[in-house]
Amino acid sequence: MWKYDREAEFNKMLNAERNRVKSFLYILNMNNENRNDKLIKKQLELIKRVRDSFGIVNFVIDKHEPSSTEVKREGSHAIIGTPGSDLVNEYKLEISKPYTRMYYKNNRNGIYNRALQDDITCYKNLKEILVSGIDVYDFALGLSSYLDEVNMDSKILISRDTTDMKESYFYLNGLLDDRGICVVENLDFLDQIEKVYKLK
């Protein structure tokens, strides 16, 4: 007699979703203490683009204990329980939407979050990974290395108008190019690159 296998049906639906998703967006370090209204406006445009193409939006922010090594080295920031450590209010509304994830990190490079790594490898059909926010350099390099490690050839894209410009030295001098990370000036150029690489 046939029996409904709830777990098998769930796994079938989950695999269908994983096969469908082609785009990830990571927004880094948009805590209250890093608030930047100009960035938020551009990032909301980027979020809409990713959602319109049925991609997944990921927020990655610092959460530190006062005794953390990074705090000792770089000074007090994003201390757990302080208002400055919270995600900016505009994105709190985004978190409640489907296909949205939140990760916390205790170092500059959020790629070491094991849940984040596992979620990447579950989506083998990812064509593009967009990186945005503040202090994206370390994350982008770590992400590039992790994709190599797990043999995924997703294209990493950064639109400069959605990141803070403290890192412009790296962008302007092409230091990310040899790691397979494509940096464009703005969201209009992002459209062109996506067409060139047939990402959409």
The gap from C-alpha 14 to its chain's centroid, in whole angstroms, comes to 21
In a domain, 139, yes or no: yes
pTM score of the predicted model: 0.89
- For 92-119, b/e burial (b = at least 16 CB within 10 A) is eebeeeeebeebbbbebbbbebeebeeb
Considering its fold, how many domains does the chain have in total?
Answer: 1
Quick one: pLDDT at residue 4?
A: 56
In a domain, 7, yes or no: no
In a domain, 125, yes or no: yes
Quick one: pLDDT at residue 175?
A: 67
In a domain, 11, yes or no: no
Range of the domain at 191: 20-196
In a domain, 14, yes or no: no
CATH code of the domain in which 114 resides: 3.40.50.850
C-alpha 140/C-alpha 27 separation (Å) is 11
Quick one: pLDDT at residue 139?
A: 93
In a domain, 49, yes or no: yes
Quick one: pLDDT at residue 146?
A: 96
In a domain, 64, yes or no: yes
In a domain, 162, yes or no: yes
User: DSSP of the chain, one letter per residue?
Assistant: -----HHHHHHHHHHHHHHH--EEEEEE--BGGG--HHHHHHHHHHHHHHHHTT-EEEEEEE-B-TT-HHHHHH-S-SBTTSGGGSBPHHHHHHHTSSSEEEEEESSS-GGG-HHHHHHHHT-TT--EEEEEESSHHHHHHHHHHHHHHTT--PEEEEEEEEE-GGGHHHHHTTTTGGGTEEEESSHHHHHHHHHHTT--
Number of other CB atoms surrounding residue 9 within 10 Å = 10
The answer to whether the Cα torsion of 129, 134, 137, 143 is positive or negative is negative
pLDDT mean for each 10 residues of the chain (200 residues): 62 77 96 93 96 95 87 85 92 92 92 94 93 91 95 93 71 70 88 81
Q: Which residue's structure tokens are 């948009």?
A: 30
C-alpha gyration radius of the chain: 18
Quick one: pLDDT at residue 197?
A: 77
